[in-house]
Amino acid sequence: METINDKNLNEIEILVDKLNEKKFRAKQIYKQIHNNKINDFFEMTDIPLNLREKLSLEYCFSRVKKIHEYDSKLDGTKKYLFELNDGNVIETVFMPYKKRNTLCISTQVGCAMGCKFCASTKNGFIRNLTSSELIEQTYEIERINGDISNIVIMGIGEPFYNYDNLVKYIKIITDKNGRNLSHRSITVSTSGIVEKIYEMANENLDVNLAVSLHFSNDELRRKYMPIGKKYSIEEIVEACDYYFKNTGRRVSYEYMIISGVNDTDKDAFNLHKLFFGKNILINLITLNPIKEFKNYKSDLISTNNFANKLTKLGLNVSIRKSMGKDINASCGQLRNKYEEKNGI
Ligand code: SAH
């Protein structure tokens, strides 16, 4: 059965017309889905019952069912394990911080990228999330916590390997007739899929782009991030420069400190060479320890030291506040735990 919550207003108008109903019904249905977050035709009480029945025979909603919620005692972060219609499980994180409510969503079940430090990729890739599931993931969090103001697409998966559904999702949630979230409050994080950076730059979406760089030279990057074998750092930076030129959105480079591995003077020098004079941000992240990468660490002292080195070299640097440390809020950790416990 076709899903309805990933259709734009025009598509709903077409389907309403096919059902021999008046055009204004489309707007009512669209509003119920995207403003009132209704995910059941029978709760759309302003729609005549016979139309609700007709709709329910032909269309459906994807479901994300909360099976666990972990609440951080440190900072209010909430992490959810959601079960999809086919029994697969994903993670979604809600982070209240100052006046912002940020949502971190997953784009895939599992991940194919194989980054050595990341829990999401441990059991490989299962499937892409549909655009309908991406929307429902967002709205379910809003039903529970109220409206969110920012979305970071940094959960499980490589968003650019699920490109079409990602773009459809962004178009729907930013639609002025519906959810109307600002493009500027959305950030897509990628491990650096160069063609897709160009494609997104030409998409007219103007969302923020973050790239998981993490290393300052190709040799080291390839060792920890297999995608580095396909695209060089230089190619990635070139694509990001194009993104900035086309969208006016400053690109941020995520750089996770692994003490003694990627925070040397040479690394600072390399980053200076790559970025000096460019309007970019280097976002330093501390490594969240995971079982498979237990011999590596990063601490606030080495992160601060490296930040100082880069600042002295004239680069824009910020240190990302780590949220939900007490609830394994790092990408993929909970899903793995759940699967281990349930023998999956
Ligand atoms: N695949 C996309 C988005 C998901 S990962 C990407 O690579 O950008 C989201 C971010 O979390 C990435 O920057 C990733 O490198 C980072 N990350 C993964 N494992 C981590 C860990 N153990 N500690 C800190 N950050 C981690």
Residues identified as active-site: 91, 331
Q: Which residue's alpha carbon is at the smallest distance from atom 22 of ligand 1?
A: 288
The pLDDT, as a whole number, for residue 99 is 85
Question: The dihedral of CA 256, 261, 266, 270: what is its sign?
Answer: negative
Residue with tokens 């109220």: 146
Residue 285 to residues 179, 211, 260, 307, 322, Cα–Cα distance (Å): 31, 12, 15, 10, 8
Q: Per-residue confidence of the chain (344 residues) as pLDDT tens digits?
A: 999 999 999 999 999 999 999 999 999 999 999 999 999 999 999 999 999 999 999 999 999 999 999 999 888 899 999 999 999 999 999 999 888 999 999 999 999 999 999 999 888 999 999 999 999 999 999 999 999 999 999 999 999 999 999 999 999 999 999 999 999 999 999 999 999 999 999 999 999 999 999 999 999 999 999 999 999 999 999 999 999 999 999 999 999 999 999 999 999 999 999 999 999 999 999 888 888 788 888 888 999 999 999 999 999 999 987 777 777 656 566 566 666 665 55
Q: How far is the CA of 23 from the centre of ligand 1 (A)?
A: 45
Question: What is the CB-side half-sphere exposure of residue 113 using CA atoms within 13 A?
Answer: 29
Question: How far is it, in rounded angstroms, from Cα 124 to Cα 89?
Answer: 14
Question: How far is it, in rounded angstroms, from Cα 255 to Cα 270?
Answer: 13
The pLDDT, as a whole number, for residue 322 is 72
Q: Which residue's alpha carbon is at the smallest distance from atom 18 of ligand 1?
A: 118
Q: Where are the beta strands (DSSP E) in 9-138?
A: 59-60, 64-71, 78-84, 89-97, 100-104, 108-110, 125-128
Type of residue numbered 230: K
Run of H or E residues at 175 = none
Q: How far is the CA of 68 from the centre of ligand 1 (A)?
A: 22
> How distant is the alpha carbon of residue 188 from its chain centre?
6
Closest CA to 260 of 221, 299, 289: 299
